[in-house]
Amino acid sequence: MAGILVLAKIENGVPSRSTLELLGAAHRLATGLQEPVCAGLLGQGDAGVLYSYGVEIVYRMDHPLLKEYQADLHLRALEQIAQAAEPRVMLLSGDSMGRDLAARLAFRLQAGIVTDVIDIDVQASEKAPRFMRPAYGGKAIAVMAPRVVPIVATLKPRTFDMAASVGEGHGREVPVEAPLDPGQARTRLVERVQEETTGVKLEDARVVVSGGRGLGGPDGFSLLVELARVLKGAVGASRAATDAGWVPSSMQVGQTGKTVSPDLYIAVGISGATQHVAGISGAKTIVAINTDPESSIFKVAHLGIVGDYKTILPPLSAKCRELMGG
């Protein structure tokens, strides 16, 4: 078994952001292990765009049943691809699909598994990959060196640098048979509901204004929405706020939510639990607004304002509006 295989997605003719992050990580492993980078591609999409990111072989499976995500069928497809490619390491994005598939895939392949990976390297002495993941709610980093191959790993989105294009690349495509039939699917898609989103996406925003339990209820978020609008940013939340149902869970930032890496992160009424801070370590500047001067958020914040958000946010938004001319 050799090579690093990433589960690739092509969106509008280009590799998705998560695919480029997987490829960035795959190349780091490939360099250390001196093994090639391959990709598994389900469905249609131009494999050629992957060659320009250093992919040498694309294992493609195409089948009408793979059009919509269905865990049993996608699992079967990935198992077939793994058997064809025989990789040392399989990398999946730690998004909802990757999290859904990884453990089941590892079981079927009798593979090792590491989830939530935030860093990787190759141990030079043993030429073996190592995976770093948060432990004890983000208070420590566990270094995992699986002893079996293959290894299935999910990478935490937005934590790895995206692979850069190498210009016109050359690779080859290997078609993989798809022994799929509808009887293998034990669940069926009943309805797809698209969450309404307006403005800039939380994960891509250069400014994020997040609110926590300290807002006291859903109404407090309107002040954050206004500040985010003025700063052309997005609104996020702590898990306390999403668990309370004040805002949708898609807005949750942190270990079990989204990882953000904005230029400016404003934490309002958030105490700074390690699980929340795990999602903002990539933020360049963190500003905290909190009534409690002893709050842990001030240990990670670059700038802190002690006080009630209700009195601080309106003049802050007004000043920003004046400065930004909007």
Ligand X SMILES: Cc1cc2nc3c(=O)[nH]c(=O)nc-3n(C[C@H](O)[C@H](O)[C@H](O)COP(=O)(O)OP(=O)(O)OC[C@H]3O[C@@H](n4cnc5c(N)ncnc54)[C@H](O)[C@@H]3O)c2cc1C
Please report, as ranges, the residues that interact with ligand X according to CB under 6 A.
Answer: 137, 212-214, 238-241, 252-257, 269-271, 273, 275-276, 279, 289-292, 295, 308-309
Taking the least distance from each CB to ligand X, the nearer of 40 and 212 is: 212
Taking the least distance from each CB to ligand X, the nearer of 105 and 268 is: 268
Q: Smallest distance, Å, CB 294 to ligand X?
A: 9
Q: Smallest distance, Å, CB 64 to ligand X?
A: 37
Q: Smallest distance, Å, CB 99 to ligand X?
A: 14
How far apart, in Å, are the Cα atoms of 219 and each of 215, 231, 250, 290?
A: 8, 20, 18, 17
Q: Smallest distance, Å, CB 104 to ligand X?
A: 22
Taking the least distance from each CB to ligand X, the nearer of 231 and 270 is: 270
List Cβ neighbours of 40 (8 Å cut-off, separation of 6 or more). 5, 6, 7, 8, 58, 59, 60, 61, 78, 81, 82, 85, 90
Q: Smallest distance, Å, CB 220 to ligand X?
A: 8
Q: Smallest distance, Å, CB 210 to ligand X?
A: 8
Lookup result for tokens 């204004």? 209
Residue pair 266/208 in contact by the 8 Å Cβ criterion: yes
Taking the least distance from each CB to ligand X, the nearer of 176 and 241 is: 241
Give the residue from 200, 242, 195, 197 showing the smallest Cα distance to 221: 242
In this structure, what are the phi and psi dihedrals at residue 110, rounded to the nearest 5 degrees?
Answer: 55, 45
Q: Smallest distance, Å, CB 213 to ligand X?
A: 3
Taking the least distance from each CB to ligand X, the nearer of 7 and 241 is: 241
Taking the least distance from each CB to ligand X, the nearer of 91 and 289 is: 289
Q: Report the alpha-carbon distance of residue 37 to residue 89 in Å, rounded.
A: 10
Taking the least distance from each CB to ligand X, the nearer of 80 and 252 is: 252
Residue pair 65/180 in contact by the 8 Å Cβ criterion: yes
Taking the least distance from each CB to ligand X, the nearer of 105 and 240 is: 240
Pairing of strands 119-123, 128-135: antiparallel
Tokens of 71: 């865990």
Q: Smallest distance, Å, CB 258 to ligand X?
A: 8
Kindly report the CA angle at 107 between 102 and 108, in degrees rounded to 5? 100
List Cβ neighbours of 177 (8 Å cut-off, separation of 6 or more). 61, 80
List Cβ neighbours of 126 (8 Å cut-off, separation of 6 or more). none
Q: Smallest distance, Å, CB 269 to ligand X?
A: 4
Taking the least distance from each CB to ligand X, the nearer of 179 and 307 is: 307
